[in-house]
Amino acid sequence: MDTWSRGTKQSQTNPNKAKTNPILAQKTTQRTQFKPKQTQFRAKCTPCGFFLFFTFLCPGYNLPMQTWTIQRLLNWMTDYYTEKGIDAPRLNAELLLSHILAMERIELYTHFDKIVTKEQLDILHDLVKRAGQHEPICYLTGKTEFYSLRLQISPDCMIPRPETELLVERAIEFLRTRTGPQFVCDLCTGCGCIAVAIAKNSPDAKIIATDICADALNIAAKNIENHDLKDRITLLCGDLFEPIVPQLDVEKFDLIVCNPPYVSASEFEKLDKCVKDYEPRLALFAGDDGLDVYRRIIDKADQFLRPDGALILEIGYAQGAAIKELLEKTGAFAGIKIEKDFHNNDRIATALKQLTRPGL
Ligand SMILES: C[S@@+](CC[C@H](N)C(=O)[O-])C[C@H]1O[C@@H](n2cnc3c(N)ncnc32)[C@H](O)[C@@H]1O
């Protein structure tokens, strides 16, 4: 598509299709001003081609805008994303269009005939193109949802995944078994999704959240403020536990949670383009076997836990056995459990600090 010249784009319109399509029928009358080169009428003519051409790429696109209703745009965008191999094309079309129009997704369906203005189409033009190149929609809209909470997001943070909600679930369950104030540490917080979700659902929890990336923490700060949690979540910038040490006049933690980077070197090469090219490498890659960050967390965690505290980690889909072994080797934990997610992949490791350690 990008390699088409204006002339060839013009020449690829299909007159028969135009007769049966009211949008195209209306617009074919305007094509003549672009000097179509009939000799180049060879390439396959797709609906998406029409869409991009008439809506966005046409140099004189002061076309009758009343033809671009929400319903038609949604259909065109869905076709375009399908052609580009984008996941969940309809959902992504809805997310982008509702963002541009500042509407809820459901409102798109109650305003199907609403006409989209030229200004709105101008903005959509750029974003549709970028989404077609596999840039994640969350980065284009700057927002996402996690544990039913609206969060801001930027390319400095990894996009929170539904699998991570299982970690939040286990953390909330653990905290419900305690009474009084609870101290929680969220390492590698990124946009703060885990800390915010725990704080929202565990009213007695106070949380310290750390990340080595200051730009990610700026987004976490916005999410904390938007959810009115400034007095319950403290952000610290630095390497894992390192920024916490000077703060340890607070008592040790009841719970440490972490979703660290865990992608191995060989997996990194095979990641989808939308992940590998757009999400921060710092949030993904963790050495040759993907266990580098776990080794460092597991080595130190018990020093930061209360005697009856717990460590809950998100882990990679096949890392269960290796993480269990790392936890067992410390001799510091009991009740080590590896849990699978809804795709039957290893996903959560839970370990309780041993009250009495053998040989001590
Ligand atoms: C997999 S992301 C998780 C983000 C968020 N907690 C979530 O669940 O979506 C990992 C995060 O760890 C951070 N990180 C990587 N190495 C780190 C380190 N040594 N110390 C602290 N944070 C680190 C990255 O900046 C990134 O935000």
pLDDT in tens, 320-329: 999 999 999 9
Q: Are residues 311 and 193 in the same domain?
A: yes
Query: Please, what is the Cα angle at 80 between 77 and 84, to 5 degrees?
Result: 135
105 and 210 co-located in one domain: no
Percent of the chain scoring above 70 in pLDDT: 79
**Does 31 fall in a domain?**
yes
Domain end, chosen from 80, 111, 141, is at: 141
**pTM: predicted TM-score of the whole model, two decimal places:** 0.83
Distance between Cα 282 and ligand 1 center (Å): 7
- Number of structural domains the chain divides into: 2
Tell whether 358 is covered by a domain.
no
Do 284 and 176 sit in the same domain of this protein?
A: yes
Q: List all residues whose CB is within 6 A of at least one atom of ligand 1.
A: 157-158, 160, 164, 188-190, 193-194, 210-213, 216, 239-240, 259-261, 282-283
Q: Clarify whether residues 13 and 56 are in a common domain.
A: yes
Segments in 45-192 forming alpha helices (H)? 47-51, 70-83, 89-100, 105-110, 118-132, 137-141, 164-176
Instruction: Give, for ligand 1, the residue of 165, 189, 211 to mutate: max count of ligand atoms closer than 8 Å to Cβ.
Output: 211
How far apart are alpha carbons 1 and 19 in whole angstroms? 23
Mean per-residue pLDDT, 250-270: 93
Domain with residue 73: its CATH number is: 1.10.8.10
Is there a single domain that holds both residue 171 and residue 256?
A: yes
Q: Is the pLDDT of residue 24 over 80?
A: no
Pocket test for ligand 1, best of 146, 149, 158 (most atoms within 8 A of CB): 158
Q: How does pLDDT run across 68-90, given as a tens digit for each residue?
A: 999 999 999 999 999 999 999 99
Among the ranges given (32-41, 301-310, 318-327), the one the predictor scored with the smallest mean pLDDT = 32-41
Task: Tell me: do 135 and 167 sit in the same domain.
Answer: no
- CATH code assigned at 276: 3.40.50.150
Mean pLDDT of 9-35: 30
Distance CA 337, CA 335 (A): 6
In a domain, 360, yes or no: no
Which pLDDT score is estimated for 355? 74
Task: State the chain's mean pLDDT as an integer.
Answer: 84
Please, which pLDDT band fits residue 250 given cuts at 50, 70 and 90?
low
The answer to whether residue 335 sits within a structural domain is yes
Asked, for residue 146, whether it belongs to a domain, the answer is no
